[in-house]
Structure 1
Amino acid sequence: MSLKDRFMFFDGAMGTMLQREGLKVGELPESLNITNPDIIRKIHRQYIEAGSDVVITNTFGANELKYSNSQFLIEEVITAGVKVAREAAADKLVALDIGPIGQIMEPTGSLSFEGAYELFKKQVIIGEKAGADLILIETMSDLYETKAAILAAKENSSLPVFCTMTFQENGRTLMGTDPKTMVFVLEGLGVDALGVNCSLGPKELMSIVEEILKYSSIPVMVQPNAGLPRYDGEKTIYDIAPEQFAEYIKTMAEKGVRIFGGCCGTNPDYIKAAVKSLQGLKPADTKPKNYTSVCSATETVILDGSVKIIGERINPTGKARYKEELKEKSVKYIQAEAVKQKEEGADILGLNVGLPEIDEKEMMTKAVKAIQKVVQLPVTIDSPTPEVLEAGARVYNGKPIINSVNGKESTMEKVFPIVKKYGGAVIALTIDEKGIPATAEERVKIAEKILKRAKDYGIDKKDIIIDCLALTASAQQKDVLETVRAIKLVKEKLGVKTVLGVSNISYGLPNRKLLNRTFLSMALYAGLDLPITNTGDEEIKATINAFEVLSNIDKESKNYISKYGKAGTKVNQLNKEESNFEVKNNNLDKDLKEIIIAGIEEDSVQCTKELLKVKEPIEIVNSYIIPALDFVGEEYESGEIFLPQLIQSAETVKRSFEVIKKSILTSGTSNIEKGKIVVATVKGDIHDIGKNIVKVLLENYGFEVIDLGKDVPIEEVVRVVKENNIKLVGLSALMTTTVANMKKTIEALKESGDDCKVMVGGAVLNKEYAEMIGADFYARDARESVKIAEEVLGK
């Protein structure tokens, strides 16, 4: 079905319709494909009659993990789902629906990238074999999981792939991805359409949709909820009527959205109204956008005229300590350097693990994962070996820079397919079979050749970053100016971004810093966008700051004044003095806090052991660990960091606690735990990601958590609370159908006579819901649950 001259409509909510049909609490909705296909067929047909072009199979949660205890095999569930959709669809399209797995991905959780990929792969293969026309990956909140699903779809089927993520009111997904990052990563991975579903009502989604449209070069898809939900004591009600829903859909269409549908709370009336509202309206053209970008899971760097820096120090050349750690398969140096270069102002981290005596492919995979645990800066994956580049790109969470390709035909044949498959940007060296050309003009010719071949592979020139190669002035002095000329010509003739390893210029000469910063000034004036340099060199950074003032990039010199004016100088000097004081006095207090904030688990073990030599365990907890966690919590609440970093800091604390508890057992000191808390996902609800996150944070603030798991019977919650004299219970629900069981659980706890408080949380809840069902507290996120626990059980 062509999108060229018309809008495309998917259907609306399946869960909402199944509830109308009497879906039982706790019943796996996808099992109805087998036990009662007539209901599913009826719902599909109602949506088709309302105007849907595509029906979505009832397979949203049909993965092997969720159906591990089901009487039905996953092959049976998915096959039956596609079959009943196909029977209802007639000449309409059938979309294989794939939702999130329901577990937290590494490094935040335990589900590996490879494990997620295999689960999605099975769904894709079964769905295509059963006769689906396209694949819809939807309601994703983790970009890493989304990448695994897309790769599984692209590598194991020939079907078009549409993908939508779900965003919170702060404009980011649960795991911290913002709309533009989603666009660049998903577009790079080759999806046919992208966008947003679920999340919020159409009114609340408008700003997110506008952001997606600003950056997307492919069709945008939106499936909003029927407004915001509220619980009336018996059922969930949404606050937007079909006619209002349709008005917002029309506004989105006028802004450029081409594909629509509905999510929670919508029904055929909503789709019918939306279809009617767009009659006579022609879709806006989807125009290519010209952004050169690189992304982590939560941060995007766009080469937009201002100078961006790639930190060069995670490279074994000339670094004996790093080489030894690579041989030992250690990532301590890598993580420490990643954190340090971020603090120094790196925009992107260069990563090279190349040593002839190690398994570089294995180490690259390990290093990429290690960096992603402690910082959220984008990464340049650097290796001369295509297999190593692919290994790093595959497990990377975001859109990397791949370093590198060159003008050799054999190299382009190996590297360009990797760039295309994983959606990265790529550094292109102006060297070919004849070596590095002497003149700027010849280097430009190689750059032109690379761009032409990249286009043959479907790679846009906006994702090619040209390196005109800095040669050493000590050996090839006459070629220095040719590099500068080449940069200028590449910018003028080809209109692409440029990168350069600046410090190569000074090798073998004295006072290298002077040569480096002078050469950098020359290259910046010629048009250099992305210097690869030492972020610890203050003179290099000062040169960049000065250049941006003089070239009118730093408007009104705001950045320059903030750094070098009286206030900035005073702050910088204060920070420097504090740093020196800490080093001279070996201040472990500061060190442990920094380790926790950065999330470097291995260092927390050693530092805690050192602290235990001079301080009591409870003092370490109260004076060091808790303040660090509080700082991280405040950063999370202010939007400076996101859930993965919050959890990583908590996991780092966990390692520290293990050392402390071992010391307590050895010394016979009293327990440091603050109190016991029971957490559970209520009866009928099989989702426990949120509950698991809460558990991690509570434990690392010193609370003992009794985790009852998911789909927990009411009487089980009451029994455990009574037997353990629990004073605080945390209940979770993600499905609107299980809010009633949450209410019944709260009532049972009150009726049992136990003197306990109840806090509740979950995607379908809000403060009003919590009050209506009798909860004592509403925890909007894991951080809030810690505050509630401290209030109830005392610090």
Structure 2
Amino acid sequence: MSVKEIFDNKFLFFDGAMGTMLQKEGLQVGELPETLNITNPDIIKKIHQQYIEAGADVVTTNTFGANELKYSSSKYSVEEVITAGVKIAKEAAGDKFVALDLGPTGQVMEPTGTLSFEAAYELFKKQVIIGEKAGADLILIETMTDLYEAKAAILAAKENSSLPVFCTMTFQQNGRTLMGTDPKTMVFVLEGLGVDALGINCSLGPKELLPIVEEILKYASIPVMVQPNAGLPRYDGEKTVYDITKEDFSKFIKIMAEKGGTIFGGCCGTNPDFIREVKEVLADLTPLEIEAKKYAAVCSSTETVILGEKVNIIGERINPTGKPKYREELKENSVNYIKTQAVKQKEEGASIIDLNVGLPEINEEEMMIKAIKTVQKVVQLPIDIDSPNPEVLEAGARVYNGKPMINSVNGKEENMKKIFPIVKKYGGCVIALTIDEDGIPSTCEGRVKIAEKIIDTARKYGIDKKDIIIDCLALTVSAQQKEVLETVKAIKIIKEKLGVRTVLGVSNISFGMPQRGILNKTFLAMALQAGLDLPIMNPADEGMKEIIYAFEVLSNVDKDGKDYINKYGVKSSEKGEGKAEKNISKEDSTKKKDLKQIIIDGMEEEAIQATEELLKTTEPMEVVNSYVIPALDTVGDEYEAEEIFLPQLIQSAETVKKSFEVIKKSISSKGEKNIEKGRIVLATVKGDIHDIGKNIVKVLLENYGFDVIDLGKDVPIEKVVETVKENNIKLVGLSALMTTTVTNMKKTIEALRENNLDCKVFVGGAVLNESYAEMIGADFYARDARESVKIAEEIFTQI
């Protein structure tokens, strides 16, 4: 029986923690756990066997960190470690399944960090090929904190093997991953990429994970997998311990199973007893039937737009048609217009950003990649990748971080043959135009017939109709007046008969006519009444937005008129009941932003220009105190309020860095003392090779203006002490991810104290909390990268 076949009739049980078991077997601090596959295979085999005896259906290979980056200085190759790991697991598993374990690379992905998408893909590709060749039965991609990295791993698995692919991410107590992805977004993106099961592992105990699991189950249409920690860890003075019992662990697992979870195992702190207990508790329980959900959604990495729940505006302005300035920028390989318009359209109320870079004079494929990366740095909204070129659509969909909207496919057989495989592979929603080899039908019935053909053909490619958005095509009333009502009729029939979402480029209707806004608004109202879900329009057009707000109240979408009242009920007399508001909008759209807002928006090039302009009339420190610092405060507040997430926080900090460079140059040219916020030492402690968290802290501290000495990972205690002494360091940041290395963190702090060094120490890492920090003698606990900045600012303000 295959792994997929057992989903329908039973629970699937994975093993528990490998690291916890290895610690009991005497794993040395700093030793790469995967090398034991070669140096001490009997220990690994014994652990696998214990889990099999406890009732596990799947054992996970001891290959979590076996990638080229982590093993670049090891005497054993990745191929040797993975091949040995799979072989041991196969020997122990017997007739059970073996999962090739792929953990994160340990590096921060672009644009937040330096690891490119394709570089990450190549790392995972090598692991996948080796693991399948060695005999793995399935691939488990686990403990992912970055959705983009998970996508690279999934594509590497699906493009280079035929094995089932499971993927789990790790969430924080705020219900999001480190990079800001929420459970709903994870579900839509990973399902779209075609994983066989998805879920959550590590991070928290089962009680704390329960609400996150419930959110996943609400949206998931495939098996959901959960591998919690054995509760929240604490430090007892000598080692990390987990307080939750196997009975409490299994109690919450049962609740998850009753709600629809079907795959269970354990992570940090669990052992064979936990798996045995879970299996016994679920012995008499029958899995719920997995229900196919009907949600249609597009996502960025941190924001999901569910289509059809309300009217969602697709911002139309990043399109070279009729925009000479944009066309010139595209020819110059510039993305300034794209970046500015993306931010503006978000501020004006767009839910999705249409992105079209099509010019015959440029390399459209390269520009689309550049444009997508640019937009995703400055706004969190999903993107509509817009091109008639299949190669451009695929290039964009591949580098996109999220579930994209792909624009477009049509009813021509050749076109569907090229576009549908792209939609299926990258899991996007697709806009489908009601046009075929014979052109655009003049009648409603003709367009409905093409829509049916597109939906039926898409089904053959494995694309559900929930991911198809039909465009009935708005033709110009000046040339094809009789066909306007045919478009409206087609929308209504397609919504009611075919049950799919609809989209329309509304302003096309008025080309060639005077007072176009009157026609646009009236046509929009007609289309909304017929069932239009997604108008493609200018989000700055207040008249059009008035129609949408009013329609949602009148059609009972805006419950109790809350959005309408919020928009028009407060100080409506001051707004001039619409007309004045339109003028305000026009003024705002052309008003130049100040440096503070530019930093908040994360516009790097604009920050350089704005800083240079300010310095002509303003003293450097006045620029810092009146613009830069307030901007950072605002961004920090938004981050803590979860209005923005780590990538946006770092992007704003990167923008500050650009501004600081200009300010420092100005100060230097005047012979004044340069800005020095303070020097900080960072290190991942001896024995710990995980430094992704420390790397993020480094990026943020540097971009906030601090000078960071990064000692790297697996840093000897003596090196930390020596560096602090030689450089008269006032603040040290220590990181640890592994439970076994907290002891070395404590010893490092003790060594700094014993040498009477006048410095403060802050600590952070997945296994730490406030009480840990206090117990091991740290001065501060940094729960995240933003907290480390606040600590640094507090310390250096006092000096």
The TM-score with structure 2 as length reference comes to 0.97
| Counterpart residue number, 2:382 | 378
- Over the matched positions of the two proteins, sequence identity in percent amounts to 76
Please show how residues 444-463 of structure 1 align to structure 2 within 5 Å: 444-463=448-467
| Counterpart residue number, 2:176 | 172
1:759 aligns with 2:762: yes
CA contact (8 A) 2:542 2:585 kept: no
Q: 1:295 aligns with which of 294, 299, 303?
A: 299
Q: 1:224 aligns with which of 221, 228, 231?
A: 228
- Displacement after TM superposition at 1:610 (Å): 1.0
Q: 2:512 aligns with which of 502, 508, 511?
A: 508
| Counterpart residue number, 1:100 | 104
| Counterpart residue number, 2:90 | 86
Q: 2:737 aligns with which of 722, 734, 739?
A: 734
Q: Secondary structure at the match of 1:759?
A: strand
Q: Secondary structure at the match of 2:774?
A: helix
Letter in 2 for 1:310: I
Residues 67-97 of structure 1, C-alpha deviations (whole Å, 9 max, x = no match): 0010111110110110111111111100000
Q: Secondary structure at the match of 2:115?
A: coil
Letter in 2 for 1:652: T
Moved more, 562-571 or 260-269: 562-571
Q: Secondary structure at the match of 1:145?
A: helix
CA contact (8 A) 2:17 2:271 kept: yes
1:361 aligns with 2:365: yes
Q: 2:253 aligns with which of 249, 255, 258?
A: 249
Q: Using the alignment, how far apart are the partners of 2:681 and 2:201 within structure 1?
A: 33
- Displacement after TM superposition at 1:696 (Å): 2.1
Q: Using the alignment, how far apart are the partners of 1:330 and 1:319 within structure 2?
A: 14
| Counterpart residue number, 2:271 | 267
Q: Using the alignment, how far apart are the partners of 2:726 and 2:509 within structure 1?
A: 72
| Counterpart residue number, 1:473 | 477
CA contact (8 A) 2:691 2:713 kept: yes
Q: Using the alignment, how far apart are the partners of 1:787 and 1:379 within structure 2?
A: 34
Q: Using the alignment, how far apart are the partners of 2:309 and 2:283 within structure 1?
A: 42
- Quick one: structure 1 residues 582 and 94, their matched pair in 2 at CA, closer, same or farther if it must change by over 3 Å? closer
CA contact (8 A) 2:657 2:705 kept: no
| Counterpart residue number, 1:44 | 48
- Quick one: structure 1 residues 209 and 404, their matched pair in 2 at CA, closer, same or farther if it must change by over 3 Å? same
Moved more, 638-647 or 566-575: 566-575
| Counterpart residue number, 2:501 | 497
Gaps of 5+ in 1: none
Please show how residues 125-140 of structure 1 align to structure 2 within 5 Å: 125-140=129-144
Q: Using the alignment, how far apart are the partners of 2:280 and 2:516 within structure 1?
A: 69
Please show how residues 115-514 of structure 1 align to structure 2 within 5 Å: 115-514=119-518
- Displacement after TM superposition at 1:333 (Å): 0.6
- Displacement after TM superposition at 1:569 (Å): 6.1
- Displacement after TM superposition at 1:243 (Å): 1.1
Q: Using the alignment, how far apart are the partners of 1:350 and 1:74 within structure 2?
A: 42
1:718 aligns with 2:727: no
- Quick one: structure 1 residues 577 and 626, their matched pair in 2 at CA, closer, same or farther if it must change by over 3 Å? farther
Letter in 2 for 1:786: V
Q: Using the alignment, how far apart are the partners of 2:694 and 2:320 within structure 1?
A: 42
Q: Using the alignment, how far apart are the partners of 1:566 and 1:729 within structure 2?
A: 50
| Counterpart residue number, 1:776 | 779
- Displacement after TM superposition at 1:580 (Å): 9.2
- Displacement after TM superposition at 1:571 (Å): 7.9
Letter in 1 for 2:445: E
- Displacement after TM superposition at 1:423 (Å): 0.1
Residues 467-489 of structure 1, C-alpha deviations (whole Å, 9 max, x = no match): 00000000001100000000011
Q: Using the alignment, how far apart are the partners of 2:587 and 2:408 within structure 1?
A: 42
CA contact (8 A) 2:736 2:767 kept: yes
- Displacement after TM superposition at 1:697 (Å): 2.1
| Counterpart residue number, 2:654 | 651
- Displacement after TM superposition at 1:582 (Å): 8.9
CA contact (8 A) 1:353 1:364 kept: yes
1:70 aligns with 2:70: no
- Displacement after TM superposition at 1:576 (Å): 9.3
Q: Secondary structure at the match of 1:641?
A: coil
Q: Using the alignment, how far apart are the partners of 2:584 and 2:178 within structure 1?
A: 36
CA contact (8 A) 1:626 1:701 kept: no
| Counterpart residue number, 1:672 | 675
| Counterpart residue number, 2:628 | 625
Q: 1:698 aligns with which of 697, 701, 717?
A: 701
Q: Using the alignment, how far apart are the partners of 1:701 and 1:415 within structure 2?
A: 44
Gaps of 5+ in 2: none
Moved more, 656-665 or 313-322: 656-665
Q: Using the alignment, how far apart are the partners of 1:569 and 1:202 within structure 2?
A: 53
CA contact (8 A) 2:225 2:262 kept: yes
- Displacement after TM superposition at 1:575 (Å): 9.8
CA contact (8 A) 1:699 1:705 kept: yes
Residues 157-182 of structure 1, C-alpha deviations (whole Å, 9 max, x = no match): 00000000000000000000000100
Q: Secondary structure at the match of 2:708?
A: strand
Q: Using the alignment, how far apart are the partners of 2:369 and 2:94 within structure 1?
A: 46
- Displacement after TM superposition at 1:570 (Å): 4.8
CA contact (8 A) 1:294 1:378 kept: yes
CA contact (8 A) 1:562 1:568 kept: no
Q: Using the alignment, how far apart are the partners of 1:572 and 1:695 within structure 2?
A: 49
Q: Using the alignment, how far apart are the partners of 1:197 and 1:674 within structure 2?
A: 39
Q: Using the alignment, how far apart are the partners of 1:699 and 1:617 within structure 2?
A: 19
- Displacement after TM superposition at 1:30 (Å): 0.4
| Counterpart residue number, 2:607 | 604
Q: Using the alignment, how far apart are the partners of 1:10 and 1:701 within structure 2?
A: 43
- Displacement after TM superposition at 1:701 (Å): 2.6
Letter in 2 for 1:351: L
Residues 601-660 of structure 1, C-alpha deviations (whole Å, 9 max, x = no match): 111111111112112222222221111011101000001000000001111111111222
- Displacement after TM superposition at 1:38 (Å): 0.5
- Quick one: structure 1 residues 723 and 156, their matched pair in 2 at CA, closer, same or farther if it must change by over 3 Å? same
1:56 aligns with 2:60: yes
CA contact (8 A) 1:9 1:52 kept: yes
Letter in 2 for 1:607: A
- Displacement after TM superposition at 1:61 (Å): 0.5
Q: Secondary structure at the match of 1:517?
A: helix
The TM-score with structure 1 as length reference comes to 0.98
- Displacement after TM superposition at 1:577 (Å): 10
Q: Using the alignment, how far apart are the partners of 1:305 and 1:40 within structure 2?
A: 51
- Quick one: structure 1 residues 570 and 30, their matched pair in 2 at CA, closer, same or farther if it must change by over 3 Å? farther
- Quick one: structure 1 residues 703 and 25, their matched pair in 2 at CA, closer, same or farther if it must change by over 3 Å? same
Q: Using the alignment, how far apart are the partners of 1:203 and 1:475 within structure 2?
A: 63
Residues 323-372 of structure 1, C-alpha deviations (whole Å, 9 max, x = no match): 01111111111010000000000000000000001010111111111100
Q: Using the alignment, how far apart are the partners of 2:353 and 2:251 within structure 1?
A: 45
Q: Secondary structure at the match of 2:550?
A: helix
- Quick one: structure 1 residues 198 and 69, their matched pair in 2 at CA, closer, same or farther if it must change by over 3 Å? same
Moved more, 99-108 or 605-614: 605-614
After superposing on structure 2, the runs of 4+ consecutive aligned residues of structure 1 that deviate more than 3 Å are 566-584
| Counterpart residue number, 1:35 | 39
CA contact (8 A) 1:192 1:219 kept: yes
- Quick one: structure 1 residues 145 and 583, their matched pair in 2 at CA, closer, same or farther if it must change by over 3 Å? closer
CA contact (8 A) 1:94 1:132 kept: yes
- Quick one: structure 1 residues 731 and 569, their matched pair in 2 at CA, closer, same or farther if it must change by over 3 Å? farther
Q: Using the alignment, how far apart are the partners of 1:595 and 1:340 within structure 2?
A: 12
- Displacement after TM superposition at 1:714 (Å): 0.6
CA contact (8 A) 2:638 2:644 kept: yes
- Quick one: structure 1 residues 375 and 571, their matched pair in 2 at CA, closer, same or farther if it must change by over 3 Å? farther
Q: Using the alignment, how far apart are the partners of 1:514 and 1:211 within structure 2?
A: 43
Q: 1:709 aligns with which of 708, 712, 718?
A: 712
Q: How many residues align?
A: 792
Q: Using the alignment, how far apart are the partners of 1:204 and 1:633 within structure 2?
A: 26
Q: 1:19 aligns with which of 17, 20, 23?
A: 23
- Quick one: structure 1 residues 646 and 570, their matched pair in 2 at CA, closer, same or farther if it must change by over 3 Å? farther
CA contact (8 A) 2:598 2:606 kept: yes
- Displacement after TM superposition at 1:494 (Å): 0.4
Letter in 1 for 2:554: L
